[in-house]
Structure 1
Amino acid sequence: MIHTIQRTACALAFGLSLVASSQVSAQLYTEDQRPSACHKKFDDTGPGRDVIYVPTRLQTVERMLDFAALKPGEVLVDLGSGDGRIVLAAARRGANARGIELDEGRFKIAQCWAEETGAGAKARFLQANIFEHDFTDAQIVTMYLLPGLNLKLRPQVLDMRPGTRVVSHAFTMGDWEADRTESVAGSNQTIYLWIVPAKVAGTWTVTPKGSAPMQVTMTQQYQKFEGSARMGERTGKVAKGTLRGDQISFTLVEDGGASREFSGRVNGDRIEGSNGWTATRAAASASR
């Protein structure tokens, strides 16, 4: 059994939220509501379960979706989806949402709740191991998992499409610094946002507009990178290298002190600069 922190439910609010706007829906949720009929039908509190079972405030669920800037039609996958509350909230906002849950009881609760709230057309639940399920189609990944599981998932997440947004409730990704962090108002809960960066490690031929090409070698640590450059007989370094999805920016500082700013968009082994510069990576140097 995967040791996850799962979402528990106090579910009457979802029936109300289906007819409320997303802007005010969080105000309709309370923390002392009785379990829904689905929770009573598929009791998931029995003995022998080896998961830590902690409720996520529904206000936090809504804030996680706000934090991810979820848009209608986007694909959201919730890893360790518990009773399905994040998936159902996302579906209610027009997303194509999918929940992956190993525990049979919570999986059944989520399916029942989707039918109960009428969100089934946009919400789908799978009883599966999160480490065996392919979620690379997601534009947004949400999770409330223990730190060790976050770290185990990190390589898979980093291999996702650049620009994928990842939101975690309460726990970090180790030394992968979050792009944004927020304390949820009125609570002691923290949510974290990462934007999967493009992979830029390797040796690039950078051609500034109207100038001779230069060789730039980059080393990358998550959304930050640095490197060295050679421009004929001159040398320099790459400084302030940052990535936000496929958006790249850095400063090239020559050893003599002159500097130039670069920004653009990474597309595999090519970069299209915002002011006409381009770069191509040597295939053999690309680093995963």
Structure 2
Amino acid sequence: MPVSKRHRLQSWARACGLGLLLIGGVTVQAQSNPTPSPQSARDQCEKSFKPSTGQPGKDVVWVPTNDALVTRMLEMAKVGKNDLVYDLGAGDGKIAIAAAKQFGARAVGVEYNPDMAQLAQCMVRAEGVTEKVNVIQGDIFETDFSKASVVTLYLLPELNMRLRPTLLKMRPGTRVVSHSFLMDDWRPDESSVSTDGAAYLWIVPADVAGKWTFKQQGGKDSFDVELTQTFQKLSGTAGKGKEEITNAEMRGNRIEMMFSEGDVHTRVVGQLTGDRIEADVTRNDKSSTYIGTRR
């Protein structure tokens, strides 16, 4: 009696140890090894190395940042899909992974401890974000992170201060977020403190110090401004009477300031590009565009 094709296929499958389902004449291979869940994949990562809170590192001990604070830090920085986030002192890669999974950004973690860096790389694979996240083993003080649009930190104040000159040279508008620790007299642009912990945001300011002349486009009005700058805060004088400017600051490339000459109250809001400011100037209730040039 001839053996049917289906019988031969089933016999072959049993011999090979394969589980096959025959449905309507179509052969479908059963999934004998389902894809592991992210949690089980993370657990596998920690079989080789599992960090412990307080373990010593190069310059700091390792303390994990809780999930709620990680999200809040990235929200404060307004992280989006076009951002490149550098997490300096990446630990197990949590912040870099969250930047990719929750906000769609690209991210690079820099971790000095080789075991932690390897763990973080494994966590990146476990979370399925290898196309967006890279964790490198290296020294944050020797790593070039100048292309970052967002920098995240969980370092001690003295380490923040060592990084501060480099951060201030970054592209204006770069956002810097620190967990818990400040940067001495460079005051944050935004602070957020809750039971989850403290987070602080700085926006790298452009250099606007100097003498400026603002001229009205399509008009004859003009005024001079002399600015002194301390981080994002501005001071100085404006107008013929050299009146003191107030409410003056830089937020990246954006400048804002006010001054009064007698009964004329002036508010300037503009965007700096090199030695040129294109500004919306409101003098009393009338607004028009002015172009400021640095002398």
TM band (smaller chain):
0.7 to 0.9
* SS of the residue 1:66 aligns to: helix
Give the secondary-structure state (helix, strand or coil) at the position aligned to 2:289. coil
Deviation at 1:49, TM superposition (A): 4.6
Query: Could you say which residue in structure 2 is the equivalent of 1:106?
Result: 116
Structure 1 residue 236 corresponds to structure 2 residue 249: no
Judging changes above 3 Å, is the alpha-carbon distance between structure 1 residues 49 and 97 closer, same or farther for their aligned structure 2 residues?
Answer: closer
Aligned pairs (5 A) from 1:56-67: 56-67=65-76
* 2:278 alignment partner AA: E
TM-superposed CA distance for 1:40, in Å, is 2.9
C-alpha separation in 1, matches of 2:56 and 2:234: 47
Alignment of 1:138-149 (within 5 A): 138-149=148-159
Q: Which amino acid aligns with 1:252?
A: F
1:42 Cα offset (Å): 2.8
Q: Hey, what's the Cα distance between the residues in 2 that align with 1:208 and 1:176? A: 34
Give 1:188 shift: 4.8
Q: Is the 8 A contact 1:88 1:97 kept in 2?
A: yes
Counterparts of 2:56 and 2:290 in 1: how far apart (Å)?
61
- Structure 1 residue 121, shift from structure 2 partner: 0.7
**Distance verdict in 2 for CA 1:115–1:238, change over 3 Å:** same
Tell whether 2:252 aligns with 1:245: yes
What code does the residue aligned with 2:213 have?
Answer: T
Is the 8 Å Cα contact of residues 43 and 105 (structure 1) preserved in structure 2?
no
The amino acid of 1:228's aligned partner reads: T
Distance change in 2, residues 1:149/1:48 (3 Å): closer
Question: Is residue 2:281 matched to residue 1:268?
Answer: no
- Return the alpha-carbon distance in structure 2 between the equivalents of residues 129 and 206 of structure 1: 45
Which of these residues, 207, 219, 236, is aligned with residue 215 of structure 2?
A: 207
SS in 2 for 1:243: strand
CA distance in 1, matches of 2:196, 2:67: 14
1:156 CA drift (Å): 1.3
The answer as to 2:217 corresponding to 1:194 is no
1:218 Cα deviation from its structure 2 partner: 0.6
Equivalent residue letter for 1:87: A
Which amino acid counterpart does residue 64 of structure 2 have in structure 1?
P
Report if aligned partners of 1:239, 1:253 keep a CA contact under 8 Å in 2.
no
* Maintained 8 Å contact 2:68/2:196: no
Identical columns (%): 40
Distance in 2, matches of 1:167 and 1:15, equals 28
Structure 2 residue matching 1:82: 3-state secondary structure? coil
Secondary structure of 1:88's counterpart equals: helix
- Deviation per CA, 1:234-282, whole angstroms, max 9, x where unpaired? 432322212222111111333x464311111111211001231111113
Match of 1:86 among 82, 95, 116: 95
**Superimposed CA distance per residue, residues 201-260 of structure 1 (whole angstroms, 9 cap, x where no aligned partner):** 1121222342344332210111110112353xx432322212222111111333x46431
Name the residue aligned to 1:95.
Answer: 105
Q: Pick from 166, 175, 188 the counterpart of residue 165 of structure 1.
A: 175
Letter in 1 for 2:120: A
Please give the alpha-carbon distance, in whole angstroms, between the structure 2 residues aligned to 1:88 and 1:246. Answer: 29
Greater shift, 71-80 or 200-209, is seen at 200-209
C-alpha spacing 1:164/1:280, structure 2 compared with 1 (3 Å): same
Aligned pairs for 1:24-43 (under 5 A) are: 36-43=43-50
SS in 1 for 2:242: strand
Cα distance between partner residues in 1 of 2:126 and 2:48: 12
* Aligned alpha-carbon RMSD (Å): 2.3
Q: CA deviation at 1:107?
A: 0.7
Output the amino acid matched with 2:171: R
Q: Which residue of 2 aligns with 1:11?
A: none
Structure 1 length normalisation: TM-score?
Answer: 0.78
Letter in 2 for 1:272: E
Residue deviations 1:148-183 (CA, integer Å, cap 9, x gap):
111111121112122211111111111111111112
Using structure 2 for the length normalisation, give the TM-score.
0.77
CA distance in structure 2 between the aligned counterparts of 1:94 and 1:145, rounded to whole angstroms: 25
> Does the 8 Å contact 2:108/2:135 carry over to 1?
yes
1:131 CA displacement: 1.7
Partner of 2:293: 280
Q: Matched residues in 1 for 2:56 and 2:198: separation?
A: 30
Deviation at 1:47, TM superposition (A): 8.0
| 1:15-40 per-position Cα deviation (integer Å, ceiling 9, x unaligned) | 36xxxxxxxxxxxxxxxx9x733233
> How far apart are residue 73 of structure 1 and its match?
2.9
Structure 2 unaligned spans of 5+:
1-36, 281-287
Higher RCO, 1 or 2 (CA under 8 Å, sep at least 6)? Answer: 1
CA, structure 1 residues 53+235, in 2 after alignment: closer, same or farther (shift >3 Å)? closer
Aligned length: 247
Misfit runs of 4+, over 6 Å: none
Give the stretch that moved more between structures: 259-268 or 44-53. Answer: 44-53
Kept in 1: contact 2:62–2:91 (CA 8 A): no
